[in-house]
Amino acid sequence: MRKVGIVLGSASDLPVAEKAIGVLRTYGVPLEVRVLSAHRCPDEARAFAASARESGFSVLIAAAGMAAHLAGALAANTTLPVIGIPCACGGLGGMDALLSTVQMPSGIPVATVAVDGAKNAAILAVEILAVTDEALAQKLRMARAENTAAVLEQDRKIMEQYRQDAGRE
Ligand code: RP5
């Protein structure tokens, strides 16, 4: 299976990215984690993206905060799918990173997840891989079924908790 690349704008983004790493491990997806800033080491970030396909990557996940141009800078240099995680740091609660990541010009897409939405970034990467991997697709279906069961169990408990109020006006 081709690997997923997780690229951080800074080591300080690792706590967010660890949630994506955890999900990818759950699915048995090989991964590589790098720190490559679009601003502090643009040449290295560009070279990584430009060689990512021939290096065996399938999907790139970029996590960055503030003026978060990392996902876009990677996307500019590869035709692999790039998923952006805007990280909440600095004083603007991640809105700065969200807009910097999501507002890409036509022709260079970045699939942007929610602020700090690392789990969804990893699940989306797995879904991309699962297009041609039935075993992964089956794992995704099982995870969805577990999600559904967990919510229905919450529903059952909450209904039970408030059952006595059902007859009141
Ligand atoms: C961004 O600036 C990084 O992705 C990080 O989220 C933020 C702060 O970086 P550090 O100053 O902690 O290295 O480029």
57 near 3, Cβ under 8 Å? yes
Mean pLDDT, the chain, whole residue set? 97
* 79 touches ligand 1 (CB under 6 Å): no
The pairing of beta strand 111-112 with beta strand 3-8 = unpaired
Residue 17 CB contacts under 8 Å (≥ 6 apart), including other chains: 6, 8, 33, 61, 63, 85, 118
Its pTM surpasses 0.75? yes
Residues 53-80: pLDDT tens digits?
Answer: 999 999 999 999 999 999 999 999 999 9
Question: What is the rounded average pLDDT of the residues 8-22?
Answer: 98
Atom of ligand 1 nearest to the CA of 97: 6
Residues 133-159: pLDDT tens digits?
Answer: 999 999 999 999 999 999 999 999 999
* 86 touches ligand 1 (CB under 6 Å): no
What are the domain boundaries of the chain?
3-132, 135-169
The whole-angstrom separation of Cα 115 and Cα 135 is 30
Atom of ligand 1 nearest to the CA of 12: 12
Main-chain phi, psi angles of 37, to 5 degrees: -80, 135
**HSE-up of residue 87 (Cα within 13 Å, Cβ side):** 27
| CATH (residue range 3-132) | 3.40.50.1970
Mutate to test the pocket of ligand 1, among 41, 66, 98 (most ligand atoms within 8 A of CB): 66
* 7 touches ligand 1 (CB under 6 Å): no
* 66 touches ligand 1 (CB under 6 Å): yes
Q: 55 C-alpha vs ligand 1 centroid, how far in Å?
A: 26
List strand residue ranges (DSSP E) for the chain, in order. 3-8, 31-35, 57-65, 82-87, 111-112
Return the number of other C-beta atoms located less than 10 Å from residue 48's C-beta.
21
